[in-house]
Structure 1
């Protein structure tokens, strides 16, 4: 058993930021995929189209 040598390795956070970026990126990709699935639905598309038409209509 190694004595006194485990502390620096245990507290070493090398690569922790990279791992956090990977988790955040994967969450963003999953959320984007979910939005694409939702927005491809006919009901949502018609609601958004109606909203844009009302926003762009004059008067």
Structure 2
């Protein structure tokens, strides 16, 4: 996943993703860096998301 895909998955801006990946030591390390930017394993991002984002209340 790239920054844009992570932003879409988390429901935040790409700027916010950049803030998260540079300041939150629990965020997974990138798999690699390509010309377009850093990329992460989708499984790693999904695991982090499950551990750090509370489930949404369906009533709200």
TM-score (normalizing by structure 1): 0.27
User: Going by fraction, where is helix more abundant, 1 or 2?
Assistant: 1
Q: Which has the higher contact order (CA 8 A, sep 6+)?
A: 2
State which structure, 1 or 2, has the greater radius of gyration over its C-alpha atoms. 1
Greater share of residues in strand = 2
